[in-house]
């Protein structure tokens, strides 16, 4: 499974939020679509002949029901907001019954500035935890060298750090960092930052996107431990362990 296939795999696990019998004139369905526009979930309304059930929404994956919640709780969500600062992911503390199942997977298109901001979020978490493994793909060696100061600082921590980039100039030699110079299309097209959480699921996080046009990327940011492990395992097999 390649990095692009992982993106398609995660996208394929899209969930559906069904709002049953919303009140006449309610904009809740469209409001929820706007609210979850970057989450890996489809929102639809459904009117039944009996008008029952009323006042609830059901989150499901294929035919499996993951959660059901009152519509007034969802209305509070869109009215009050639960996005983390900057709109990056969801703070599900007060809405865990339904948002916990979305596993913080944000799917969208990103420009370069957005990619840099999210990358720094992942790097900062890794630095704070100060244990575990950080895997970062820069596309090209020169982009890593642009971040030399940051990675020199990361190299002084207890983290195991692996960086990846296609050769395009000076070689990379940063103390405390193992660099993998890979002249491979997948590496040239992919931007990723993966932190394994230092053995703790609650700290796992990953950004993975592919470049669709110059400085335009499509992919996701996820705190789902299973998704993070899938990316980490692939990179480990394909690059870290596969070659001396």
Condensed to tens digits (0 to 9), the pLDDT of residues 148-173 reads 999 999 999 999 999 999 999 889 99
pLDDT of 76: 82
The answer on pLDDT for 15 being more than 90 is: no
In 3-state terms, what secondary structure has residue 14?
coil
Q: What is the DSSP letter of 151?
A: H
With beta carbons less than 8 A apart as the criterion, state whether 105 and 40 touch.
yes
pLDDT digits (tens, 9 = 90+) for 176-223: 999 999 999 999 999 999 999 999 999 999 999 999 999 889 998 888
Confidence band for 240, pLDDT divided at 50, 70 and 90: very high
Residue 194 pLDDT: 98
- pLDDT at residue 173, as a whole number: 95
How far is Cα 120 from Cα 96, in angstroms, rounded to an integer? Answer: 26
Q: Which domains does the chain have, with CATH numbers?
A: 3-102 (3.40.30), 109-240 (3.30.870.10)
Tens digit of pLDDT for each residue in 86-133?
A: 444 445 555 556 666 665 567 777 788 889 999 999 999 999 999 999
Task: Report how far residue 63's alpha carbon sits from residue 234's, in angstroms, rounded to the nearest whole number.
Answer: 29
Cα–Cα dist 136/154, whole Å: 12
Q: 26-71, pLDDT tens digit by residue?
A: 999 999 988 887 777 889 999 998 888 888 999 888 888 888 888 8
pLDDT at 243: 60
Q: What are phi and psi for residue 43, nearest 5 degrees?
A: -110, 130
Cα Rg of the chain (Å, integer): 20
Query: pLDDT over 70 for what percent of the chain?
Result: 88
Mean pLDDT in residue range 216-234: 92
Secondary structure of 64-90 in the HEC alphabet?
A: EEEEEEEHHHHHHHHHHCCECHHHCCE
106-111 and 64-70 beta bridge pairing? unpaired
Q: What is the mean pLDDT of residues 218-230?
A: 91
E strand segments, the chain? 15-20, 41-46, 56-61, 64-70, 106-111, 133-140, 160-166, 177-181, 190-195, 205-213, 216-222
């Amino acid at each position: 499974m390649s990095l692009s296939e992982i993106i398609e795999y995660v996208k394929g696990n899209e969930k559906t939020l069904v709002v049953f019998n919303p009140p006449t004139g309610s904009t809740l369905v469209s409001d929820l679509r706007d609210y979850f526009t970057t989450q890996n979930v489809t929102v639809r309304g459904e009117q039944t002949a009996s008008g029952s059930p009323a006042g609830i929404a059901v989150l499901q994956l294929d035919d499996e029901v993951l959660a059901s919640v009152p519509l007034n709780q969802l209305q509070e969500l869109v009215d009050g907001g639960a996005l983390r600062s900057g709109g990056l992911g969801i703070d599900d503390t007060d809405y865990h019954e339904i948002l916990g199942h979305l596993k913080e997977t944000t799917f969208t298109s990103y420009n370069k500035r957005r990619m840099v901001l999210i990358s720094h979020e992942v790097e900062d978490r890794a630095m704070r935890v100060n244990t575990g493994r950080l895997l970062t793909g820069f596309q090209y060696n020169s982009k890593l060298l642009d971040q030399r100061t940051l990675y020199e600082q990361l190299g002084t921590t207890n983290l195991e750090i692996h960086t990846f980039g296609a050769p395009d100039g000076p070689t990379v030699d940063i103390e405390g960092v193992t660099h993998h110079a890979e002249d491979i299309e997948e590496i040239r097209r992919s931007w990723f930052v993966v932190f394994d959480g230092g053995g703790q699921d609650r700290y796992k996080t990953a950004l993975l996107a592919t470049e669709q046009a110059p400085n335009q990327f499509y992919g996701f940011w996820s705190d789902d431990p299973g998704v993070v492990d899938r990316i980490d395992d692939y990179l480990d097999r394909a690059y870290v362990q596969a070659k001396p």
